[in-house]
């Protein structure tokens, strides 16, 4: 199968490319390298330096003739989406429409879409929540992801374009950028290894569902041939608070830093954890890497880098 991975030079996208190639698929990457890195690109993949909003994307589709598209490219920074909602919508909605239009015009069989399992639900009513939980995003980023899901439904009804939507929990692992839209794992790890003091926002009791990037890549591989026209959470179903996360990373990096707290971030979600039961039943997906093992692998990769 020939697969286009948008954002394939990024943290998550590059792991997906590696997994697809290891499974015997042909991979083509489109990435503008704003947050992606050339060194993340698998040498067996073809690469186009291009923004997903570009009119030139049509030429890539016409030439390559993709069987499937794995759409990972996005403006991923929640805080940046709050500061500049127009830019967030331009990339995440208009860029996605450009991708889907080309899928419909050039006979793509299926789209895999990276949505969000944290920002899309807002403040949860059940823990862990499943895919039937109300979607009440409280950030422009969450809104654009939810909107893009609805566009996929439109393209299915209008053009017969099949899709699988994967709502990721908080993804972490090797290659995550400790700058820009970085998650707390990358930020803490880079600062601890540099001998700098990380600061925990508020009391550190806020929880997230941390899922290892290798497990996310496997969920995408399973979705190439399963879960058609459906939506799935991809997480662990386990809540971990920031204090616990800091303690594990501090120990893995030498255990010399103190636990230091700063002001709470206004509007920060208190609890977020999602159920993967549906993905387990219909895709055969279960997370294989526990948090301690995943963080150990992440720290090791940051040491090398």
Output b/e per residue, 192-208; b: 16+ Cβ within 10 A.
bbeeeebebeeebebbb
Tell the residue number behind the tokens 């150990």, with chain if given.
296
Peptide bond just before 298 cis, omega within 30 deg: no
Give the active site residue among 48, 141, 155, 168: 141
Task: Give the integer Cα–Cα distance in Å for 93 and 164.
Answer: 17
Told to judge if 141 belongs to the known catalytic residues of this protein, a careful annotator would answer yes
Active-site residues, by number, are 141
């Amino acid at each position: 199968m020939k697969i286009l991975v948008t954002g394939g030079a990024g943290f998550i996208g590059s792991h997906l490319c590696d997994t697809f190639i290891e499974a015997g698929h042909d991979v083509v990457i489109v990435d503008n390298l704003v947050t992606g890195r050339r060194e993340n690109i698998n040498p067996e993949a073809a690469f186009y330096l291009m923004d997903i909003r570009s009119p030139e994307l049509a030429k890539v589709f016409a030439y390559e003739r993709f069987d499937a598209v794995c759409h990972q490219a996005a403006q991923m920074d929640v805080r940046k989406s709050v500061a500049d909602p127009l830019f967030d919508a331009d990339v995440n909605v208009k860029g996605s429409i450009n991708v889907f239009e080309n899928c419909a015009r050039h006979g793509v069989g299926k789209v895999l879409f990276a949505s969000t399992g944290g920002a899309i639900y807002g403040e949860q009513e059940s823990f862990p929540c499943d895919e039937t939980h109300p979607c009440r995003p409280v950030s422009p980023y969450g809104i654009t992801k939810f909107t893009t899901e609805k566009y996929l439904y439109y393209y299915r009804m209008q053009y017969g374009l099949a899709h699988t939507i994967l709502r990721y929990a908080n993804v972490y692992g090797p290659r995550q950028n400790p700058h820009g839209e970085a998650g707390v794992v990358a930020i803490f790890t880079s600062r601890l290894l540099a001998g700098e003091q990380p600061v925990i926002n508020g009391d550190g009791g806020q929880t997230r569902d941390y899922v290892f990037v290798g497990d996310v890549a496997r969920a995408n591989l399973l979705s190439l041939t399963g879960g058609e026209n459906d939506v799935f959470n991809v997480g662990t179903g386990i809540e971990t608070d920031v204090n616990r996360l800091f303690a594990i990373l501090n120990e893995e990096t030498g255990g010399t830093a103190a636990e230091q707290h700063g002001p709470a971030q206004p509007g920060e979600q208190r609890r977020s954890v999602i159920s993967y039961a549906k993905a387990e039943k219909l895709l055969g997906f279960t997370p294989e890497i526990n948090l301690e093992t995943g963080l150990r692998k992440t720290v090791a990769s940051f040491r090398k880098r």
